[in-house]
Structure 1
């Protein structure tokens, strides 16, 4: 089972370009299709790993590995996720000086951008559907994305505003419960 976990995450790490969120649909498909966990369990792990510091894909692979095979499973999944990227970056670094100004490589990376956006959008949409978000609940995330993308607002300001809003809302609810 350890070898299967390792190879599964090596495959995911090797064939995913764009980071952790781009890996999400592949991880979900592999984990849920193998019957290693339910879709609901995967969504719970997805929610928890988003709140942890560090690399999202590594965090989620560690959680999956730990849930299936404890510490050694977590290690196998983490190494499987990290090694392909490490080796690819190492190879790029070794040959970067030879291809630094190659216009074909630059065009290839520009061509990959829409695919990466799609790979990030798909798990967002499937997660929204599976937790049955309404269109009203999507107003804030869409508004925030537009503020960052079109308005040039720093995500740090949005996070600070969300913290303030959460505190105000939480205090309002707490006060309204105390009054009753």
Structure 2
């Protein structure tokens, strides 16, 4: 019960300070969950954010639910989800009222001019942090490059890119195994167990 309450409190504290939501939350969550609490390792958080982005719904809430479940099962998922929703709900209501009355104010517009690039910086920083556990060999580097190209030049829907990435990963790893080549998964038994559901 103490762990569940700690999960709730952690996400309750994280939610109001993660401006930009979604991927902008990644560096804050990594610092708190991985480096601070040591509940999960960086690879697990990366996997969970990938999964959260691959399903419908707000990625911040999805990620909180998955991370909570990974730490403490169903009760952890509920605690993390409630923890991340409560502050956000009241902040959104307050900001909506504020925006209605002050949206045209020069200082408010100036503040948004500074917030937008800061959010972009948070997302770029999150991607940089995630690269260590996501891009681990030539195959994963090529997959990342192809996915980036599909998004940038063909404007492909992110869900399709994720599906293509998943299918190509299964095919490439299977091909490497048949050829007797070493894969990144061979060096990460814990990660393999996670995908096979051994720890769930």
Bin the TM-score by the shorter chain.
Answer: 0.7 to 0.9
* C-alpha contact 1:62 1:78 (8 A) present in aligned 2: yes
Tell me how far 1:158 sits from its aligned partner.
9.5
Unaligned runs of 5+ in 2: 179-200
Tell me how far 1:39 sits from its aligned partner.
2.0
Q: Which residue of 2 aligns with 1:150?
A: none
* C-alpha contact 2:151 2:158 (8 A) present in aligned 1: no
Q: Distance in 1 between matches of 2:159 and 2:34?
A: 33
Larger Rg: 1
Unaligned runs of 5+ in 1: 148-152
Q: Which residue of 2 aligns with 1:11?
A: 13
Q: Which residue of 2 aligns with 1:51?
A: 54
* C-alpha contact 1:65 1:76 (8 A) present in aligned 2: yes
**Using a 3 Å threshold, how does the CA distance of structure 1 residues 118 and 141 change in structure 2: closer, same or farther?**
farther
Residue 109 of structure 1, aligned match among 109, 112, 118: 112
**Using a 3 Å threshold, how does the CA distance of structure 1 residues 32 and 99 change in structure 2: closer, same or farther?**
same
**Using a 3 Å threshold, how does the CA distance of structure 1 residues 157 and 71 change in structure 2: closer, same or farther?**
closer
Tell me how far 1:9 sits from its aligned partner.
0.7
Structure-1-length-normalised TM-score: 0.76
Q: CA RMSD in A?
A: 2.8
Q: Distance in 2 between matches of 1:133 and 1:116?
A: 29
Describe how 1:129-168 pairs up with structure 2 within 5 A: 129-131=132-134, 132-134=136-138, 136-147=142-153, 154-156=155-157, 159=160
How many residues were matched structurally? 163
Q: Which residue of 1 aligns with 2:26?
A: 24
